[in-house]
Amino acid sequence: MKFVFIGTYPPQKCGIGTFTHNLVRAIADNFGYTNLFPNLYVIAVNDNDQIYNYPSEVSFVVNQNNQRDYVSAAKFINYNKADVCILEHEFGIFGGESGVYILSLVSRIEIPMIVTFHTVVREPTHIQKVIVQELSNKAYKVIVMSKKAVKFLIEIYNIPEDKIEIIEHGVPVGKVFHRDTVREKFNFTNKTALFTFGLLSRNKGIETVIKALPKVVEKHKNILYVVLGNTHPKVLSHYGEEYREYLLRLVKDYGLEDYVYFYKNFVPEELLMEYLYATDIYITPYLNEAQITSGTLSYAVGAGTAVISTPYWHAEELLADGRGVLFDFHDHEQLGNILLDLLDNRKKIEELREAAIEYGQRLKWPKIGAKYIRVAKSAMENFSYIHKDKHTVLDPYLLPDFTLAHVKRLTDDTGIVQHAKYGIPNLKEGYCLDDNARALLMSAMAFNNKSDETIKLMPIYLSYIHYMQNDDGSFRNFLSFSRNYLDEIGSEDSFGRTIWALGYLIYSFPKDSYHQPGLDIFRKSLPYFRKLKHLRGIANTILGLSYFIKRFPDDEESKTLLLELANKLIKEYNSKKSIDWNWFENILTYDNAIIPLSLFHAAEITHDDEILKIAIESSVFLESITLKNGYLKPIGSKGWFVKGKVCADYAQQSVDVMGMVLLFFKAYEVTKERKYLDKMFKSYMWYMGKNDLSLPVYDYETGGCNDGLEENGLNRNQGAESTLSYLIAHLTVLNAFELEYEYEK
């Protein structure tokens, strides 16, 4: 079998790296591989762009904070055709918010994957929960090291129980050290050695042990408490050695200088095992229960050391049945009493050691490696990969249920609030015409898709539009929460979006009580159409005019207006296009798809071949930039895409995705070419996580849509624009499916 492993790796000083290295060696030993590569190779994740002298099995290096490295790593894995990928997951070792970049890698690999979760958080953030769920969905099996982790995955993350397997943390086999020899080496011969090791940080609770020692050393003068380990790198970068210095002051305050020794180092594994064999009692005094896995505790039990610990989750399980003694968090008095009891009754220490030795045999790395191999073989036997190009993408069952929950949350009796703070309305920002026009459009579309809820919302949005119209037919845009106008005249974009919504309402909505107000507002705005200069304002207006003409096909003035507006776009296209640039401007910015979309609408009305030709050419050009990797990558708003320069990757916006969905659906309606439905659905799936970060942008919990895809994760605010754009895209896909269903019949 050929394995690829993803994680940190030595010589990087990291617990996950040590685990990955030991697992690689354990699997190699089970197969009898003398040379690791090419049967086993490692994708190593570097921290903070550090450079390490990796061993030969490390075949590819990912820089933690370079998202493109994760994509390249996936390509490397697919090219080298391993049988199974084993991912060691810990939120802190990967880049992006809570390590979200790892999704960019795993979503692209074409072999079965096993994920080991070294941390399972009981109260995850939104992004942490999404990451765990996405990794679990991709994985054949997820492996955890405790029963508590299984419970959390099932109850909190909704992972199916049959997908989870417990394989405990491995411990080194190594050589069995003679206890007297290693005790002499460390000058423990006449000492009672207490020991704690690991990266130092406040949650380790070393102060609890120090506070427990005064009454112990009164009776047992030969005590020596050794604390081994560097300060955690992240703690060091933020707080320096503040915690270590606090502990040193505490030692001095209690007069324990002769009884406590700090060994500030990251020691090799063999030396660590020597310390454990030489130790009388190992102590893990962590300050809270939220430790799902502890490699240090596993090592201590594996070495047959007597252990005292606070009852964090892993300790409760591993030290059950007499394999250790537990004391309450922060309770130095209780710890002191336990130490005195054990030191006064040495037989109890030996009993703990014997229980640990017996249990530790099942934790030896070769046995753990054999368990991983068994899971890997099962993954190979049951895995089938359907290449994305062969996948039927028009699948309505991939869509979430349609819900207006977040829209109703954002809507009051004035209109829809423009922005949100996470999932709640941000009333300070007030309202805008753009969003109320989108809300009206979405509501009319939803009503036509049998959603009666929208009938209660539509008067609010239509009333807002009416309130914002000026006497000359133009519109104001912004209104404060206190209902004060904030501008005299809005942008041409907001004008065009309003005309689009009104045109669709007039064309599609059957109820006259809504139809007539919309028609009055629309007709009043007609004189303003010829004043439009900006491309997106023109394009949005063309959409509204197209729907209006469908409702009133004999209105010759509207047809003339439509052609005039379309010719403005064509003029800009012909003046800006070149051999490798089929676009209307020398820059691609926001809401790009709306321009070719409007030309498809215009071509449908006018039957003009030139308009249709440019609609197709420009949409093919836009597609070549945003859909070239098999999934949608909208133009990033942090820099846009200037002709002759590099396209910005982030921040990607929901409104651009909606435009692509609408564009491809309209292209299908006009040309009858079914390839456009595939592209439409690929575009829609950006919301569901088929994007650069493999991260769902739609929020299943709130029914809203996050405001954007940023380099480090999601913009968690869920404003009106993003949510309405998602819902319009959703309704368009539903409409496409209905057309396909009729076609198949």
Instruction: Report which of residues 452 and 689 the model is more confident about.
Output: 689
399 pLDDT band, cuts 50/70/90, is confident
What per-residue confidence (pLDDT) applies to 737?
A: 80
Contact between 407 and 723 (Cβ < 8 Å): yes
Looking only at the bridges linking them, the beta strands covering 84-89 and 3-7 are parallel
Strand partners, 315: none
User: Which 3 state secondary structure label does DSSP give 437?
Assistant: helix
For 117, phi then psi, to 5°, come to -90, 110
Contact between 168 and 311 (Cβ < 8 Å): no
What per-residue confidence (pLDDT) applies to 388?
A: 45
For 5, phi then psi, to 5°, come to -115, 140
CA–centroid distance for 734 within its chain: 26
What per-residue confidence (pLDDT) applies to 283?
A: 96
pLDDT tens profile 450-487: 667 788 899 999 999 999 999 999 999 999 999 999 99
The 10 Å CB-count burial string (b at 16+, else e) for 106-130 is: bbbbebbbbbbbbbbbeebebbbbb
pLDDT tens profile 18-27: 999 999 999 9
pLDDT tens profile 556-590: 889 999 999 999 999 999 999 999 999 999 999 99
What per-residue confidence (pLDDT) applies to 233?
A: 78
Three-state SS string over 325-376 comes to EECCCCCHHHHHHHHHHHHHCHHHHHHHHHHHHHHHHHHEHHHHHHHHHHHH
How many of the other CB atoms lie within 10 Å of CB of 349?
A: 17
Mean pLDDT of 135-156: 94
On average, the pLDDT of the chain sits at: 90
Contact between 215 and 313 (Cβ < 8 Å): no
**Percent of the chain residues topping a pLDDT of 90:** 66
pLDDT tens profile 25-81: 999 999 888 777 778 999 999 987 788 999 999 999 999 888 888 989 999 999 998
pTM of the complete model: 0.71
pLDDT tens profile 252-266: 999 999 999 999 987
Q: How far is CA 481 from CA 413, 457, 477, 488, in A?
A: 11, 18, 13, 17
Mean pLDDT of 125-130: 85
Which two structure tokens, joined as six digits, stand for 260?
A: 């406590």
Longest Cα–Cα distance of the chain, Å, equals 106
What per-residue confidence (pLDDT) applies to 176?
A: 61
Q: How far is CA 16 from CA 9, 87, 94, 186, 518, in A?
A: 7, 11, 12, 27, 62
Contact between 7 and 106 (Cβ < 8 Å): no
Residues 6 or more apart whose CB falls under 8 angstroms from that of 563 comprise 602, 606, 608
Mean pLDDT of 92-105: 88
Contact between 702 and 656 (Cβ < 8 Å): no
What per-residue confidence (pLDDT) applies to 711?
A: 85
Which two structure tokens, joined as six digits, stand for 576?
A: 């800006």
Three-state SS string over 506-539 comes to HHHCCCHHHHHHHHHHHHHHHHHHHHCCCHHHHH
In terms of C-beta density within 10 A (0-12 exposed, 13-18 middle, 19 or more buried), how is residue 673 classed?
A: exposed
745 pLDDT band, cuts 50/70/90, is very low
